[in-house]
Structure 1
Amino acid sequence: MASTNQQDGFLRFERWIRQQGDDRPSRIQSDVTELTRWGGYDFDMIFAPLDGRYRGPPSGEYDQLIQLYDIPDDFVAERERSVTHSFGHQLGENGVETLWMHFLVKIPTTASQPNQHEPWLKWGFVMTWKPKPMTPTERDTVEPENSEYCVTFLAFQPPLESIQALVTFILSSTWNHVNNDPYVIVDVALSSWYQRVDSIAWDVTHLVRTDEKRLFERAKILETTDPSSHSRHLSSLDLHGIHTSAKNAIYLTEALDAILRAVDRVLSAHKELLHDPKNKWRTEDRTWENTHRLLRYRSELFNSTRLRIVSSHERIKNAVDLAFHLNNAQDSRIGMMNSRSVRIISIVGLIFIPFSAASSIFGTQFFSFPDNNEHHMQVNQDIWYLFATAIPVTIGILLLWKASENDQLRLPGGLASLFGCSSQPRPRDSPSGERGILLNDMEQQRA
């Protein structure tokens, strides 16, 4: 519905106008030269392209729009700085008041589409109102402060939900409530924006739930399958997807915190109008009271969605921690397998090193080759010295190693370092097998 088309080099704006006594609003297409600021319309609603310096020649039309509706410089600067959410309210001349808001939220992405084009949803609006001009008869019978307002609402590229809500409002029989309380249309905008943000929040929650379920299923497989296949299962973990879900939750939490602050400012500004002495008569108007209650209700809705996203963020953080510990557990398993290989090599070395040492001490005189018989080797009858020395040394070293493995050996610190064992008792391995590795890793992380 928003008019983003360009015809003959001019931007086209979709305009809805309604007057008191009209059965239906008028819907027209206008360019910037056809727009008038105060045409005597009770409610003038305009849909325009996204605010900002448009590319190409039409950029001058945006400047004309700024001048025509006295759009605040702060509103223009907010778009250039990509402000997440904002609320502003200022007073002008001749009783004119201007209110503006900006909205921004990130559309969730997945690991399969990390470079999704323009994943940000943004829009904004400027609303201006002034006391409605009175006829000569009304000037004599109506107090000036009791007059109604002429309201102009300029929406810049609102999402589909907001367009539908705004059009539904101007078509309804209660559209003229905006003439008594302009904040009625602000409530409509917040209500439609909540629908979109809440839908995005559910999408983020679904992505978190999916990643969480896959990770827990993978952890269960790792506990019940052969350790030799763990590397294959761990390599299939979508760690990128898990971190993408965490990023989506962080972005949405920021957006919800920002909109909650903006809604609080809306409530404060509306409350100030309620207590304005010149608007004292409106405190008895049900429209103003109902609008204030609805604005508080919107705040509660946004806060409810925020709590859901905070919960999803904590869940995905838990999933990231679990994935981290699973990888650590796999590294521990690989280290244990490598240590077994080194252990076998060490045992072989313990057996043969004493023989090598004894042979080095006694020399190579245990064997000889007589010159008269080159095909036979003679063994010295004193070779028993080699076995008498090497075998006890080998047995002694093996006993020391075995005792240190079973925590039955207590050596002073110096000797413990010499033999490569600890002088303190070592904690026994968990009897729970593979689960013990994961629990030990988690305890080390907490420490």
Structure 2
Amino acid sequence: MTGFTEAIQESGYQGIREGDLVIHAMDAFAGAVGVSDSDGKSSPVYAACTPRGASNVHYYAAVVREMARTGWIAALARGVRERSTDFRFESFANQVLPVPPYDEQAAIVKYLGHARARIDRAIDAKRKLIVLLEEQKQAIIHQAVTRGLDPTVSFKDSGLPWLGDIPARWKMIPARYLFRPVNRRNRDGTEVKLSVTQARGLVPTDQMLERSMQASNFDSFQVCDVGDLVLNKYKAHLGVFWAATLRGLITPNYTVFAPAKGVKSSYYERLFHTPQYRAIFSSIVYGVTAGMSPLYNADFNALHCAQPPESEQREIILFAEKVEQDHARVASRVLYEIDLLREFRTRLTSDVVTGKFDVRAIAETLPDLAGQSLGVSEDQLFDDSWNESTLEYVVTAGEQGVAHDPDQP
């Protein structure tokens, strides 16, 4: 098991029995409630509740999660730390809870089990669609940057087994003739602070979706200009090459390459994202620790790269941007549909658990559930970070109204 902190000593642990309603005192506000499916033991931070009389613990787990969703637990709980509370059993025991007849509790659990399973399957199908759309986009762009846009042209051997054939009019030359490393320090005071992200590329630091440590001093930062190719040298094998679309300051841990005349960094950004080049970068970095093996300039300079004519680089850039924008529109729509399904699942669960929607007649027509659990669904295991990281892939410059000028490098 990974992702958990295990105690060195287990003194003070309590017994948990199958069928107990278990509430996490510190995370109950976030819906950390469930029904134990086996006997075991736990830290005293959990409240293990045994049902009295005819009570369906799965129904009451759903009730407590509804209390969390509405903010009721957060309002009751003690504690001043952000994203943490202290909701002990004493507080829970004083709450007035709904008590439907036992048969109706069972009907609610049965109905919601079926309804949520159908909704989760629909969400899973749409999530898989986003993955397929991303794969389709990458395949189309890969074809464009390695074989061009005209399928009728003649081809020649690139001389590299891992790259294969390229259009006959393309050249194969070392990267040192395409780019030169630069370390600019000339500032005019208008530069924005930039960060390199694996998904969104080079973005203003204050627009990053993910949280990261921020430098307290920028004196050592270097300047990158529009059209430069920026590399996170420790992540070359992941394809972390990005063309700069604005002038700014970046950490000296990144490598900045200025393109030669007739070289478009946006084309090479996409070329270096292809599986062939990422595999080559993985093979030429040095180091024994994963993620700490830099791509040195000498090795990059010796790498042979395809060079289409400048006009064809422009055409490929425009084509790739159109593909990316079309993909973004479709993927954004699918994400919106996922949000609607999640909203519907939340609203339906709330209305059924609180008795606003009588499901007894419908539940009678449904087959028995294999398990009676109404715990966190598989979809809900994907927290907000999944949605943010997915949005990183589908939000493009075109969607944001920032079109790339193909006449820029």
Q: Report the TM-score when normalising by structure 1.
A: 0.26
Tell me which protein shows more helix as a share of its residues: 1
Considering Cα pairs closer than 8 Å and 6+ residues apart, tell me whether 1 or 2 has the greater RCO: 2
Rg larger for: 1
Q: Report the TM-score when normalising by structure 2.
A: 0.28
